[in-house]
Amino acid sequence: VVKEKDTVLDIGTGSGLLAMMAARAGASKVIACELIPALADVATKIVKDNGLQQKVDVIQKKSNALVVGVDMDEKADVLVSEILDSALIGEGVIPSLRHALQNLVKPNAKVIPAGADLRAILIETEHLHRVHPIRDISGFDLSAFNTFRTEDVSRRVQLSLLAHTKLTEEFPMRSYDFSALPPVTPDTNPEEVEIKVTIKKSGIVNGVVFWFNLRMNDQLTLSTAANGEMVHWGQAGYMFKKPREVTEGETFILRALYSDNLIRFRN
């Protein structure tokens, strides 16, 4: 994607790896921003160790604090980032890219990755249900320990290691085009979308497990599914407070709540 003489913006550079790859691909200048000071210091050293300090500028700032004309000479031709978690959007990729598209890159700039498609299944899992929330453990009431538990969020799971029963086939949730993001949607006022899912096996729905297929460009897609290329990412698991018994063949109404930083569900 990166062409000779391109200016590249790398958001959340971490080690500086993607920034150096962009420089190697021919970019004339790479602006690599990193919020965490210790990471920015190490990225600066790594760039220097690889002889790319003339092409790559590591700036210890959040991307929405960058100013064209101060931190970068011109708007970028290519926007690169890896600010994704197992639930796709929990590290702030949507607001970060939205700001960059509006303020830091040229019109029709190329974006890597280009977008993502969310997929999900409904599962039965007594293993996770026992501790989400915490109830009775070995005959003791530990429910007061939930004071330390963050409610209404998904957590990273590894479906291949989790004892569970799939109650549905995998189904599509939502697709994101990282070049044309939805309007600002605060976590306090999420967009609600109804998803109808056919139950394939009778059981008890404890929660939703979801993952994403990351579209790098028109040709290449990488998946965080349990059998995907990015399996190390893990999947996201959301457990319902009140499980629901279901019967094979019935239609389950799942409500997905989407905001800029969170994906939640209601059953």
- The helix (run of H) or strand (run of E) holding residue 247 is none
Longest dimension (CA), the chain: 67
What is the per-residue pLDDT for 205? Answer: 96
**Which residue type, as a one-letter code, is found at position 36?**
I
What is the per-residue pLDDT for 42? Answer: 98
CA distances from 136 to 98, 139, 230, 237 (A): 44, 6, 36, 21
Q: Give the C-alpha separation, 200 to 167, whole Å.
A: 6
Using DSSP's 3-state secondary structure scheme, residue 79 falls into strand
Neighbours of 110 (CB within 10 A): 19
- What does pTM read for this prediction? 0.90
What is the per-residue pLDDT for 206? Answer: 93
Choice between 140 and 225, residue whose per-residue pLDDT is larger? 225
- The helix (run of H) or strand (run of E) holding residue 66 is none
Q: What is the pLDDT of residues 183-195, one digit of tens each?
A: 999 999 999 999 9
Q: Are 18 and 2 in contact (CB under 8 A)?
A: no
Q: Are 128 and 237 in contact (CB under 8 A)?
A: yes
Q: Give the C-alpha separation, 128 to 139, whole Å.
A: 17
Q: What is the mean pLDDT of residues 98-122?
A: 98
Q: Give the C-alpha separation, 22 to 48, whole Å.
A: 15
**Dihedrals phi, psi of 40, to nearest 5 degrees:** -60, -40
Find the range with the poorest average confidence among 19-33, 65-79, 121-135, 244-258. Answer: 121-135
Q: Give the C-alpha separation, 168 to 60, whole Å.
A: 45
Q: What is the mean pLDDT of residues 60-70?
A: 97
Q: Give the residue numbers annotated as catalytic, written as ranges.
A: 82, 91
Query: CA geometry: angle at 177 spanning 73 and 66, to 5°?
Result: 25
> For the chain, first and last CA: distance in Å?
42
Q: Give the C-alpha separation, 192 to 255, whole Å.
A: 7
By percentage, how much of the chain surpasses pLDDT 70?
96
Residue indicated by tokens 């997929």? 119
Q: Give the C-alpha separation, 18 to 180, whole Å.
A: 22
Using DSSP's 3-state secondary structure scheme, residue 227 falls into coil
